[in-house]
């Protein structure tokens, strides 16, 4: 992707109008860059989203800040005020630091099959390959060494960074962004066991990615075995995620790095999945579910809520002790059950109800 241009400058009043935030103080103050509270300087706008940095409002050198209503009194600087300052910061950053305009054209080292349909407004980078009957939409950007397989489609305004591979027949919706090294549509792990030997099952489905999706670097999404693997509109996938064949990721779900999702699992809409979570195959995860980092999910989740299974960090010696006790929980449960039976027998006078081992 082309480098970002020099930042644009806007007054605080103009930014408020474009983001829906309120202005407190001098709305004529002009800013050109976003910055952190600790490193902001003249011409910068900083933001407070995490309360632990509140004290920095008093020392920041930024020209303006973005804050929630409860932090207005903590600084005399001109400010944008919103109940969701982090979202306003995101919008301001997009305004001040827009992506470079697409420069149309096909690099002389790229290969575009004669049967492919590439919009005249698209940009095809060095050594990119666009296969037979592939479609590349208006204003798309393909980075260096991108491979777009036969019959694959990339919708308008799609950005595919360097070294991405989009396998044949896969579909990427408009305005989606795929970061470097991602592989979309490799074969799913479909194998049949016969007398200790594995037979490969042809993977004949596709990967279908919706609009406004972002896929992180080195993330892999397997094509479906028969039906398609589907990533719905607005999904955000971090780096180094593995999504197995025939999965469905519901609209506007966000998945953090290093998550593994086994095949044929259906993740609901608006879910949030923490880093390194592992989700088994053939499960259903309810809309709006939050799964904490490193959580292991072995069963379907039918009711939205927050689910956690990771054990908090402990000093190693203490962890070994807890692990040792955890291994004895089944034995302990059996002994508690026998004690309960013995107590009940003593209460009723029925000595046959239970005896301690």
SS (H, E, C) the chain: CCCCCCCCCEEHHHHHHHHCCEEECCCCCEECEECCCCCCCCCEEEECCCHHHHHHHHCCCCCEEEECHHHHHHCCCCEEECCCHHHHHHHHHHHHCCCCCCCCEECCCCEECCCCEECCCCEECCCCEECCCCEECCCCEECCCCEECCCCEECCCCEECCCCEECCCCEECCCCEECCCCEEEECCCCEEEECCEEEECCCCCCEEECCCCEECCCCEEECCCCCCEEECCCCEECCCCEECCCCEECCCCEECCCCEECCCCEECCCCEECCCCEECCCCEECCCCEECCCCEECCCECCCCEECCCCCCCCHHHHHHHHHHHHCHHHHHHHHHHHHHHHHHHHHCCHHHCCCC
Which of the following is catalytic: 97, 179, 245, 252? 245
Asked if 107 is an active-site residue, the reply is no
Q: Which residues are catalytic?
A: 245
């Amino acid at each position: 992707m082309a480098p970002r241009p020099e930042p644009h400058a806007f007054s605080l009043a103009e930014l408020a109008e474009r983001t829906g935030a309120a202005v407190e103080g001098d709305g004529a103050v002009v800013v050109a860059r976003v910055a952190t509270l600790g490193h902001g300087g003249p011409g910068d706008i900083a933001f407070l989203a995490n309360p632990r940095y509140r004290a920095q409002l008093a020392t920041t050198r930024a020209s303006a800040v973005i804050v929630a209503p409860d932090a207005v009194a903590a600084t005399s600087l001109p400010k944008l005020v919103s109940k969701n300052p982090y979202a306003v910061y995101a919008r301001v950053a997009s305004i001040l630091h827009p992506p470079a305009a697409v420069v149309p054209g096909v690099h002389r080292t790229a290969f575009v099959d004669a049967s492919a349909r590439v919009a005249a407004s698209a940009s095809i980078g060095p050594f990119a390959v666009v296969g037979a009957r592939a479609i590349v939409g208006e204003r798309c950007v393909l980075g260096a060494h991108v491979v777009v397989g036969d019959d694959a489609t990339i919708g308008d305004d799609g950005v595919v960074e360097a070294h991405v591979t989009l396998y044949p027949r896969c579909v990427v919706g408009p305005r989606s962004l795929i970061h470097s090294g991602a592989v979309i549509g490799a074969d799913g792990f479909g194998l049949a066991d016969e007398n200790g030997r594995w037979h490969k099952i042809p993977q004949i489905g596709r990967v279908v990615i919706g609009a406004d999706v972002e896929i992180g670097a080195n993330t892999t999404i397997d094509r479906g075995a028969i039906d398609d693997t589907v990533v719905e509109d607005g999904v955000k996938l971090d780096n180094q995620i593995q999504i197995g064949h025939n999965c469905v990721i519901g609209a506007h779900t966000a998945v953090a790095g290093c998550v593994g999702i086994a095949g044929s699992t259906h993740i609901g809409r608006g879910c949030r999945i923490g880093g390194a979570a592992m989700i088994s195959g053939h499960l259903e995860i309810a809309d709006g579910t939050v799964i904490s980092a490193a959580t292991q999910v072995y069963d379907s989740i039918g009711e939205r809520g927050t689910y956690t299974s990771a054990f908090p960090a402990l000093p190693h010696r203490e962890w070994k002790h807890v692990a040792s006790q955890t291994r004895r929980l089944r034995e302990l449960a059996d002994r508690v059950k026998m004690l309960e039976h013995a107590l009940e027998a003593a209460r009723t006078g029925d000595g046959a109800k239970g005896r301690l081992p």
